Structure 1
C-alpha cells in the first residue's frame, strides 16, 4: 500500500474559515480513517489551510515526510491560490478530492483549483464523492500506489547476468534510456560468477533445500540423466549464488541470460528463477525478488511494476500458442513461473503439492529440473513494456486464467511442452489485434484488476498506453 498525504483547503476569510473548520475536519477525518482502513499509511498536513503561509508550510512538511501522493481536499469553497502555493511546494502527484455534500460548495472549490493548475500545466487528477465512498478511495489508492511504484524505480539497480540471449533484441534495453527515463542503473555481471559461487555454496543448505522439494513437491522425477539429485543441487546452489550477488551489489531486480552457455554447460536456471520470484523458500517467508529469464530487461521492469502495484509475485511467460477452438492462449516458458502461481497460497506446501520437477527437454543438454505446474484460475492483469521506434509503451489487457479437467489439461500441455509450466488464459482482446500489435514474445501477469494503477503508472512515467478490450 501507499503513503498518502492529506491537506484540507479552506476559505481565506477568517470569519468564514472559523465557521467551516469543524465541517472540514469532520469530513477530512472520515476520509483519513477510510484510507487507513483500506491499508494505506496517511500523513495529515495539519489544520485546514486558510492562509498563504499555511499552504506553503504545511505542503513543505508533507513533502519532507516522503509521501507518495498528496490529496488536496475540498469540503467547502476554497481560495484557489492556496492550492497553487501548496502545489509549488510539493513534488508528488496531486489528487484533488471534492466532497459532494450539497450544503457546502466543495465541487466549486475543486474546479476552481483544478482550473488554476491546468493553466500552469501542473498535472493532477480529480475525484469526488463522500469521504468514505469506495470509488473515491479506489481512485486515490490507485493513483498513490502507482506513484509509489513509478517513483520507486528511481535509484534502483538492475542486475543483468549475461548479455543478449539468442539474438533477442526485445530482451535488451538502452541503459542510458533507463537511467534518463526511470532512474535505474544497470549492473552487468558475467554468468561465470554464478558458476564460481555455486561451487562454493553451503552443501548443508543445498541438501536441506533438495529435501524440501522432495518432501513437498508433487513429484521430483529423477531420471538418472537430465535430472539427478546432483543436478537439482547445482540449480539450488545457483539460487544461493544469485542471492549472494544480490546482497553484495544491492540489486533491486535482475535477469539471467542462461541460454546457451549455462543451459548447455552447467544447468538451467529454472529452479533459481522460480525461487527468486517466490515469496518463500525452504527457510520460510521472504520478499520476492523479481528475476526475468533470458535476462529480459523490459520484462523484468514490467514484472517489477506489476509486483509493486499488486503486492504479489509477477508471472513471466512466452506467448506460446493460441487455441482458436477454445479461445485460449497457452502462456508457457521454460523459465520461471514462480511456484506461487500453482495455487496462489500463502502456504508453500499447498503450492508445491501441485508442482512437478521434471527432467529438462532436449533444448538444454546440461539438464536440471523444469518447474512444471498449471497456473491457478482467476482474473489477471497482463501487461508488457515494449518499445516502438525507441519510445516506450505499456501494452495492457485484462484476462482470466482458466482451469480445465485433468484430461483436457493433459491434452493441451502435450500439444506444446508438457514438462514446462503453463497458464491457460482467455484475454480481453482478439487474437488478430494481439498478434499483429504485441511488441514482444514475453508477457507478464498478476492476479486481480490493476488496470487503474497501470494507467496511472504509464502517465507518471511518460509512457504511451496501449490498452485493449473486446
Structure 2
C-alpha cells in the first residue's frame, strides 16, 4: 500500500477556527482511520492549518516524510491562499478532498482552492464524500498507488544487454528522454558479459534447477539436437549469470537483445527471461524481476509500471495473430511468458504442471528450450507505452484471457507456433482500431482491472492516454 499525507485546511479567522476545531478534528480523525483501515500508511499534519505560517510549516513536515500523495482536506470553508502556500511546500501529487457534511461548506472550500490551483497550473485531482465512504477511500488510494508507481521509476537503472534487435526501432528509447521524463538511467551491457558469466556459473546449481524443472513440468521434450540437458543447463546458467550481474550493478529491471547473436551461437534466453519474471525459482519464492525480451526498453518500462501497480508478474507477448472469426487475439512470443501465467498460482508446481519445455524452432539455430503453456483465463488489463512523433502515449484497454478444450486449443496454437506460449485474448478494443493504431508489436498484461490507477499514472507522467473500448 501507499504512504499518504493528510493536511487539513481551515478558516483563517481565529474565532471561526476556534468554533470549528472539534468538528474539523473529528472529520480528519475519521478519514485517517478509514485510510489506515484500507492498509495505507498515513502521515498526518501536526496541526490544523489556520494561518499562512502553518500552511507552509505543516506541509513541509508532511512532505519530508516522502509521501506518495498529499491530501488537502476541506471540512469547512478554508482560506484558499493557505492551499496555495501548502501546495508550494510539497512536491507530491495533490488530492483535494471535500467533506460532504451539509452543516459546513467543505465543498465551497475545495472548489475555491481548486480554482486557485488551476490558475497557477498546479495539477491536482478532486474527490468528495463522507470520511468513511469506501469509494472516496478507493479514489485516494488509486492516486496514491499511481504516484508510488511513478515515483519508483525515479533513481532506477535499466540494464540493457545488447542493442537494437533485428532493426526493431520500437525497442529502443532515447536515454536522455528517459532521464528527463522518468528519472531512469540506462546501463549498457554487452551480451558477451552474459556468455562469460554463464560459462563460469555454478554447474551444480544449474543441474539442480534442471532436475527441478524435469520433476515439476508437464514435460521436457529432449530431442538430442535442439534441446538436450546440456543446452537447458546452459540456459539456466545464463539465468544465474544475469542474476549476479543484476545484483552487482544494482539493476532494477533489464532487457536482453538475444537475437540474432545468442539465438544463433549460444542459446535462447527464453528460460532465463521466464524465470526472471516469475515470483519463484527452484530455491523458492523471490521478487519478480522485470526482464523484456529483445531488449525492448518501452516494453520493460511498461512492465515495470504494471508490476508496481499490480504487485504481480507481467505478461510480455507479441501480437501474433487475430482470429477474426472468433474475435480472439493470439498473444504469443518465443517463450518469454512467465510460467506463473499458466495457472497464476502461488504454488510453482501448479503452474509448472501446465508448462512444457519444447526444443526451439528453426528461427533459433543455437537451440535451447522454449517455455510453452496457455495463459490461464481471467480478466486482464493490457497496454503499452508507445511513442508518436517522439512523445509518449499510454495505450490502454481491458480484455479477457480465454482457454478452451484441448482440441480447440491445439487447433488455434497449430495455426501459429505451437512450441511457444500463448494467451488467447478477447480485447475491448475493436480489431480494426487496434491494428490501425497500436504502436508496437509487443503488448503487456496484468490480471484484473487496473485502469483507474493506470489512468492516474498517465496523468502524473504527463503522457497522453489512448484508452480503447467498444461502443
**TM bin (shorter chain):** over 0.9
Offset of 1:36 from its aligned partner?
2.0
Deviation at 1:76, TM superposition (A): 1.5
Q: Is the 8 A contact 2:72 2:95 kept in 1?
A: yes
2:420 paired with 1:416: no
1:137-152 correspondence to structure 2 within 5 Å: 137-152=137-152
Provide the C-alpha distance between the structure 2 equivalents of 1:93 and 1:172, rounded to a whole number of angstroms.
30
Query: Given the alignment of the two structures, is residue 215 of structure 1 paired with residue 215 of structure 2, yes or no?
Result: yes
Specify every segment of 5 or more residues in structure 2 that has no aligned partner in the other structure, as ranges. none
The aligned counterpart of 1:355 is: 355
Q: How does 1:251-266 map to 2 (within 5 A)?
A: 251-266=251-266
1:174 has 2:170 as partner: no
**Corresponding position: 1:85 with 2:85:** yes
Deviations 1:329-376 (A, max 9, x none): 000000411111111111111111111111111111111111111111
Shift of 1:132: 2.1
User: Contact 1:277/1:314 (CA < 8 Å) preserved in 2?
Assistant: yes
Per mean C-alpha deviation after superposition, the further-off stretch among 23-32 and 251-260 is 23-32
Matches within 5 A, 1:344-423: 344-423=344-423
Partners of 1:223 and 1:25 in 2: CA distance:
72
CA displacement at 1:47 relative to structure 2: 2.6
Say if 2:40 is the partner of 1:3: no
Secondary structure, aligned partner of 1:334: coil
Q: Aligned ranges for residues 39-438 of structure 1 at < 5 Å?
A: 39-438=39-438
Give 1:440-451 correspondences, 5 Å limit: 440-451=440-451
C-alpha distance in 2 between matches for 1:37 and 1:281: 34
Shift of 1:26: 2.0
Distance across 1 between alignment mates of 2:405 and 2:134: 37
Higher mean C-alpha deviation, range 415-424 or range 131-140: 131-140
Gapped regions of structure 1 (runs ≥ 5)? none
SS in 2 for 1:146: helix
Q: Deviation per CA, 1:28-84, whole angstroms, max 9, x where unpaired?
A: 222222222222221111232122111111100111101011011111111111111
Runs (4 or more) in structure 1 with deviation over 6 Å come to none
**Secondary structure, in 3 states, of the residue corresponding to 2:153?**
coil
Equivalent-residue separation in structure 2 for 1:233 and 1:298 (angstroms): 30
Preserved CA contact (<8 Å) 2:335 2:372: no
Shift of 1:429: 1.1
**Distance in 2 (alpha carbons) for counterparts of 1:65 and 1:33:** 19
Instruction: For residue 183 of structure 1, report the CA deviation from its aligned partner.
Output: 1.3
1:16 equivalent in structure 2: 16
Q: The residue matched to 1:365 in structure 2 has which SS?
A: coil
TM-score by length of 1: 0.98
Q: TM-score, normalised by structure 2?
A: 0.98
Q: 2 CA distance for matches of 1:438 and 1:39?
A: 36
Q: Deviations over 1:385-429 (max 9, x none)?
A: 111111111111111111212211111111111111110101111
- Separation in structure 2 between the aligned mates of residue 411 and residue 342 of structure 1, nearest angstrom: 19
In structure 2, the residue corresponding to 1:170 is in which secondary structure?
helix
| Inter-partner Cα distance in structure 2 for 1:441 and 1:37 | 42
Q: Please report the RMSD computed on the Cα atoms of aligned residues, expressed in angstroms.
A: 1.1
Other structure's SS at 1:394 match? strand
CA contact (8 A) 1:292 1:300 kept: yes
Asked whether the equivalents of residues 293 and 335 of structure 1 are also in contact (C-alpha less than 8 Å), the reply is no
Aligned residues of 1:158 and 1:252 also touching (Cα < 8 A): yes
Q: Which residue of 1 aligns with 2:457?
A: 457
SS at match of 1:152: helix
CA distance in 2, matches of 1:251, 1:435: 34
Q: Distance in 1 between matches of 2:80 and 2:243?
A: 52
Deviation of the 1:218 alpha carbon: 1.4
Q: How far apart in 1 are the matches of 2:275 and 2:38? A: 30
User: What is the alpha-carbon distance in structure 1 between the residues aligned to residue 43 and residue 393 of structure 2?
Assistant: 33
Q: Secondary structure of 1:164's partner? A: coil
